[in-house]
Structure 1
Amino acid sequence: MSDQNPIERRVIGTRQGGVQYSERLAVRVVVLSPKGEVALVKANRDNYYKLPGGGIESGEDHGKAAEREVLEETGCHVLVKPGCFATTEEFRNDLHQISYCYRATLLDGHQPGNPELTEEEVSDGLKHEWVPVEKALQTMENVEPTSKLGRYIKERDLFLLTEFLKSIQ
C-alpha cells in the first residue's frame, strides 16, 4: 500500500535563467536502528546535520547507491526498503540535484564499522551519531549552519526527516 501513496516532493532554490546547470541524482537514507535511533551525519566544519547519502553513480540502482552511501559514511550495513518516500529538487549555484529518500534498517546492530570518507568529507569533519528518533528532528533544527551549502542541506534533510516521521506516526 505505501508504494501506492504519492511521493512528497519539495523544491529548494530557484532555477535561474542563463545558468548552465550540472545534473546530479542522489539518494538520502533514513536509517533506523532496532533501538529506535536514526543515523545522522554531523558536518563539524560548517555546523549542520545531514542524512547519510550522496550521488548515484551512472547506471547504479537506487537501493544499491543507498546501501553504498550509508556504508561509506557510517560503516554500517543496512537493508534499504523498496520505494522512495520523498524527493527534493535543488538549485544551488550551477547544480541541479534531485535527491530520492529511502528508509533503511540497520543489519548489524550498532557495529560502528569503519566509514570510508573522502578527503573532502574528512576535511568537513563528518562524523555520524545515533539519535533517538523522537529527538532527531530537534537535533537537526537546533544547529545553525555556517555556510550557504549547510543551510541548503539543513532545509533539504529537515523536509525529508519530517516526511519520514509523518510516515511512522
Structure 2
Amino acid sequence: MAPPQIDGVPSRTIGIKADDIEYQDRLAVRVIVQREESDKIIIIHVKKGNYYKLPGGGVEGDEDYQLAATREVLEETGCKASIETECIGAVEEWRNDLHQISYCYVGSVTDDSGRPELTEDEVLDGLVHEWAPVHEALHKMKGIKPTSELGLYIQKRDTFLLETFLGQSSK
C-alpha cells in the first residue's frame, strides 16, 4: 500500500542524510490513543534507555497504514483502538543506516481489557504503558533524559507529533 499523502501535513526531519551510507528504508506509524470523555492518552515508558514514546511501529509489507496503527496499539498496549483521522503529522529520520518515515494518527480506545503482546526485545527494554493527561504526557516526554541515541531521536519525533496534535486540537 502506498504511504499516506502528506501534502500540507506538518512534518519534520531528524538527523542528516549522509551520501556515503546505504540506508535501510522503514515505514512506520505512531498513534495518539485517547480515552473517550477524557483528555488522557497512552504513552509508553521504555525503562532501558529512559524515554517515553507513543505506541507504534513498522508497517508490514502492503499493510494498510491505519490497520498497522491499530495492530501496533494492540501489540504494545493490549488495547483495541479505532483510528479517527487521516495522517496528522510525519517525521523523517536519518539515524545510523536507518531511513525511517513515521506517519501519525489519532485514535480512541474501544476496549482496554487485553494484555500487551510485546516482543522479547520490548520486554527486555522494559516497555510499560500508562495513561496520562495529554499535557502531562508531553511534559513527561520532554522532561526525561534519554540515555541512548535511539531515545533522543524518539523523544524529538514523538514530542513533535504530540505538539502537532495539541496545535490541531486547540483550533
TM-score tier after normalising by the smaller chain length: over 0.9
Q: Give 1:41's aligned residue.
A: 44
Structure 1 79/141 Cα, relative in aligned 2: closer, same or farther at 3 Å? same
Q: Give 2:147's aligned residue.
A: 146
Retained in 2: the 8 A contact 1:74–1:112? Answer: no
Distance 2:138 2:89 in 1: 16
Q: Cα RMSD over matched residues?
A: 1.4
> How many residues are aligned here?
165
Deviations 1:48-73 (A, max 9, x none): 00000000000000000000000000
1:7 matched to 2:9: yes
Retained in 2: the 8 A contact 1:26–1:97? Answer: yes
Partner AA of 1:53 in structure 2: G
Structure 1 unaligned regions, length at least 5 = none
- Determine helix, strand or coil for the equivalent of 2:22: coil
Deviations 1:11-64 (A, max 9, x none): 000000110000000000000112220100110011000000000000000000
| Stretches of 4+ aligned residues off by more than 2 angstroms | none
Sequence identity (%):
50
1:119 matched to 2:120: yes
Length-normalised TM-score, structure 2: 0.93
Structure 1 112/40 Cα, relative in aligned 2: closer, same or farther at 3 Å? farther
Retained in 2: the 8 A contact 1:63–1:82? Answer: no
How far 1:142 sits from its partner (Å)? 1.2
Which of these residues, 91, 95, 99, is aligned with residue 96 of structure 1?
99
1:31 matched to 2:33: yes
Structure 1 95/5 Cα, relative in aligned 2: closer, same or farther at 3 Å? closer
- Determine helix, strand or coil for the equivalent of 1:63: helix
Distance 1:4 1:88 in 2: 11
Distance 2:46 2:146 in 1: 9
Partner AA of 2:103 in structure 1: Y
Partner AA of 2:71 in structure 1: R
